[in-house]
Structures are given as structure tokens and as C-alpha cells.
Amino acid sequence: MSQHPAIELVGIDKSFGAVHANKNINLKVEKGTIHGIIGENGAGKSTLMSIIYGFYQADRGEIRIDGKPLTIRDSQAAIAAGIGMVHQHFMLVENFTVLENIMLGAEGGQLLARGASGARRELKRLETDYGLDVDPDALIEDLPVGKQQRVEILKALYRSADILILDEPTGVLTPAEADHLFKVLKVLRDQGKTVILITHKLREIMAITDEVSVMRRGEMVATRKTADTTVEELAELMVGRRVLLRVEKGEAKPGEVRLSVKNLTVKDSRGVTMVDNVSFDVREGEIVGIAGVAGNGQSELLEAIAGIRKPAAGEILLDGQPIANADPARLRALGLAHIPEDRHHMGLVLKFSEYENAVLGYHRDSRYGQAGFLDLKAMQAEAVEKIAKYDIRPPNPLLKTANFSGGNQQKIVVAREIERDPRALIIGQPTRGVDIGAIEFIHRRIVDMRDAGKAVLLVSVELDEIRSLSDRILVMFAGKVVGEKTADAGEQTLGLMMAGIAA
């Protein structure tokens, strides 16, 4: 082809101290295509994109835009070169209007009034060209996440970006919002824009990209035409070994009811009813999955069962014993383990060492010390055991927890809760921000718990995860359980229920 690639990287190399984040990366992205970049967390995808966007300078190597070598010193230079970036965590000012956010950095003069009318007109044009409608005078904080993302895309287009980089764009979106995003991306491509999509979700790569490049441990290991590859091949390239994408598990053998929720109502801190008269049972030896779009009461339900939030009404029973008013320490003593949804806010103290987090919540136990003193040796010895058993890397119990990758942090939490041999286990988002190798491992553990006769309640916004792990699926919508399905229920059926359309 005579046409130059939209963007070409030649021998890009970047180290942060001892960490070699990008090793001799070569990449060609053709114009008018959607190019996926896939890799596990920490594979170096984000670093690479930050180099393209001028956040960091490469130690070596060259970036060519439209065939011309270019030094990108800062984001200003990247914008000038026609590169736009949609960050994973939106770079929006929440109490600004859409218009103000779009104008920020491209105000068109010292006075705002002068640029504003032009910006409005341009927004209108982008809206009709790409189907990206959004009210310019709405405040960002009032917009749903999907619309906020649209503002990010508009920001890039407003600066006349020809190359659009999206970093993990679907992480925060509902399935419907993600579908809409993909439609928008296709329109952009068809209008001649080049899209680079960074993700660790194989399904998205298969659904939307034309070409895909795989990164592993800082290296670009392969580039494939999406049509010529398979999910299995990509997964193997990502991890470097064969991966089981489906959890293999036998028939469940449910026994007695362990955990029982009766007419439970939970309100959030503003007094809004988030869980509305919900009842269900979890038996020993089964996994009950709760599906739903984030924010439909699952978090509050988990918190109520875990003893973090007091229910407004209703009962929670563990082995027939009421526990609705027990605190988390008492619940742990009774054999209810909790893997919280957000390991950073609830599961771990990131500034603590690994071994301290490995006993957190169980630190009053006599095996970790007597009379108010901690037995650090015993704690560390046990941490070393868990590290070996769960393959936590790096295998150093003294390392600060913040320095572990997301997957390894999650393993620390999972090991802590599972290794106490609880009677019942409640789990929120077990694999959020966790790489594919660790996902496989954590899923295996959860199934093992079931097979060992524990009652498992699983909440996840990843429908795939719910479907592959659960024996029964409850769907929550607007605080209510709108239906129960077996594990073989179709994705579409569940999706409609999650949207509150069918029961």
C-alpha cells in the first residue's frame, strides 16, 4: 500500500528505574482502522500509550505520524499531531459544564465568551456527524458514565484528532453503553478516523477491531488480523501459556440452607432505599450469583450481609441464627468470610506490608499473638505459606501491598478469606482489574469452595463471570430481585432482566 500508516512506532523502549515497561516495541496502525492492543495488567499497554500522548518520553525509538518522524514532548505536541486520548479515568472537571470541559485548553482566546459560540457550533457539527449528542450546558457530575465518556471523545474530536486512543473504555460502562460506544467507534472509523483500543477484554477485541496487537511483559509479541485469530489464540499469546477460558466444574450438590436473607431492605447513607424487600437462600455446596448493572443495590446488599451496613428491615440468618445486627468481627467468628468489592477501599490497607494485610480482620486471633501483642513471626510464616499456595508475586511478605499488581492484591484478599475455612463466603467483584491468569486461579478457588460444601454468594457486574461460576442466578434491578434463572440462561435473557425490561 502506498499510503503511510496513521501511526508507526519503531523500537520504542522505556524503563522506570529497574522496571523495563516497554522493550523495543514496533507497531503499525493503518489509517481508518480500529486497532486493538491487548495484554494483561502491567504488560505495558498504558505506558506505551502515555508515550504516544506525550506523558512520558521514550528512552529510545521513534514515533512516526503519517510517515513523518515526530518528537512528542508533551500532550500539547500530541494534540497538535492529531492524537486524542480517552483515559480510563476520565480527565473531566466534574463541576464544569460539558462545554467548559471541551473548551479547556482550546478556549480560542483570552476571554471565554469569544470562543464559546464557536465551540457550540463545532459541537453541534460533531453531534450530527458522529451521532454524539450531549447537552453542552449539562454539568459533568449529572451525566451518566456513558455520556461522560462521550464528552471525552468529543474533547478529542474538537481538537480535530485523527487518531483516537481509548484506554480500557468499557470498564465502567453497562453492556448497553458499551454497545453504543462500539457503534460510535465504527462510525468514526468509517469516517476515516483511526482508533486504537486498549483493553484486556478479549470479547471486545473480537467484536470490534480490524487488527489486534498483543503485549506481554513489556514486549509486543504478535499482531494479527482479527478475522484470522481466535479468542483462545489471543489468550494464549497474552499469558504465554494455554488458558482455560471457561471454568470447568461438576454438578452442584446443594445441601442445607446456610445463608438466608428474608425481606431485607437496606438504605444508603442518603436514606434512599437501595435494597427493597429482597429474600433468597444460599445452600451449602452451591454458588448463587447476583447479576445486575452496577448501582442496582448489589453493593448495599453485600455490605448488609457483611455487617458493614445496618439493614433498615428484614432478617439475615446464618445457619438459622440471626446475624443482621452482628458486626464484621462477630460474623468472621461465626464463619462468614467476605471478599469485598473494592480491595483498595475495603479489602486492603495498601500502605501495609503483605503479611499484615494477610491477617487483617483476623488479627485478634490467638494464633497471631497474645495479650494485645502481635506475633510477627507467626504472621509472616503464615503469609509465606499463603504466598506459595496462591502463587502471589513477588513472593515477599514484607513488601508494601501497594507494590503488588491488581491480580496479586486480589489474591492476598482471597487467600485471607478462603484459608480460614469459612462456612459461607460472600464475594463482590472477585476479578475486577485482575489479569486473565489470576482470574482463572481465583475462579478455580471459588469453585473449590463450593465443592468443599461451602455456601457461596457471588456478586459481579461481569455477566460472563456470573454465568460461568453460578449454579443459580438472581438478577437485581432497582433494588429488587427481578428473577431467578439457572446457569444456562442466555446472555440476552439476563441482559433484558438487568435492564429491567423482562422478568
Partner 1 sequence: MEFYEIIISILGSTIRLSIPLLFTALAGLFTERAGVFDIGLEGKMLAAAFASACVAYLTGNAWLGLLGGIAVSILFSLIHGFASITNRGNQIVSGVALNFVAAGLTVVLGQAWFGQGGRTPQISGEARFSPITLPFADAMRDVPFIGPLYANVISGNNILTYLAFLAVPITWWVLFRTRFGLRLRAVGENPGAVDTAGISVTWLRYRAVIVAGFLCGFSGAYLSIAQSAAFIKDMSAGKGYIALAALIFAKWKPVPVMFACLLFGFLDAFANFMQGKAVPGIGEVPVQIFQALPYILTCILLAGFIGVARPPKAGGVPYTKER
Q: Which residues contact 377 (CB under 8 A, 6 or more apart)?
A: none
CA distance 85 to 79: 9
- Smallest gap from residue 50 Cβ to partner 1 (A): 8
Nearest to 86 by CA among 135, 28, 151, 177: 151
Stretch that binds partner 1, among 79-87, 244-252, 268-276, 314-322 (CB under 8 A): 79-87
Stretch that binds partner 1, among 83-91, 333-341, 438-446, 478-486 (CB under 8 A): 83-91
Size of the site for partner 1 (CB under 8 A): 35
Stretch that binds partner 1, among 108-116, 123-131, 177-185, 470-478 (CB under 8 A): 108-116
- Smallest gap from residue 100 Cβ to partner 1 (A): 6
- Smallest gap from residue 74 Cβ to partner 1 (A): 6
Q: What binding mask, one character per residue, do residues 85-104 give for partner 1 by CB under 8 A, x or -?
A: x-x-x-xxxxxx---xx-xx
Contact 168, 88 (CB under 8 A): yes
Q: Does position 270 bind partner 1 by CB under 8 A? A: no
**154-183 binders of partner 1 (CB under 8 A):** 155
Q: Does position 75 bind partner 1 by CB under 8 A? A: yes
- Smallest gap from residue 14 Cβ to partner 1 (A): 11
Which residue's CB is nearer to partner 1, number 46 or number 170? 46
State the cell numbers at 361.
480482620
Helix pair angle (175-190, 112-130), 10° resolution: 90
**423-462 binders of partner 1 (CB under 8 A):** none
**285-304 binders of partner 1 (CB under 8 A):** none
Q: In what order do the strands lie in the sheet with 219-225?
A: 83-86, 163-167, 194-199, 34-39, 211-216, 219-225
Provide the sign of the torsion angle of the four alpha carbons 171, 176, 182, 187, taken in this order: negative
**Near partner 1 by CB under 8 A: residue from 22, 47, 296, 298:** 47
**Near partner 1 by CB under 8 A: residue from 25, 36, 45, 46:** 46
Contact 131, 56 (CB under 8 A): no
Place of cell 456513558: 146
Write the DSSP string, 311-357: -SEEEEEETTEE-TT--HHHHHHHTEEEE-S-IIIII--TTSBHHHH
Q: Does position 142 bind partner 1 by CB under 8 A? A: no
Q: Does position 78 bind partner 1 by CB under 8 A? A: yes
Which residue's CB is nearer to partner 1, number 47 or number 296? 47
- Smallest gap from residue 414 Cβ to partner 1 (A): 25
Nearest to 357 by CA among 365, 348, 346, 366: 348
**23 residue type, one letter:** K
- Smallest gap from residue 75 Cβ to partner 1 (A): 4
Which residue's CB is nearer to partner 1, number 42 or number 311? 42
- Smallest gap from residue 415 Cβ to partner 1 (A): 26
**Near partner 1 by CB under 8 A: residue from 13, 24, 41, 55:** 55
**341 residue type, one letter:** E
DSSP 144: -
**19 residue type, one letter:** V
- Smallest gap from residue 107 Cβ to partner 1 (A): 4
Between the alpha carbon of residue 455 and those of residues 323, 395, 439, 458, the distances in Å are 16, 30, 20, 10
Applying CB under 8 A, the residues found at the interface with partner 1 are 16, 46-47, 50, 53, 55-56, 74-79, 85, 87, 89, 91-96, 100-101, 103-107, 109-113, 155
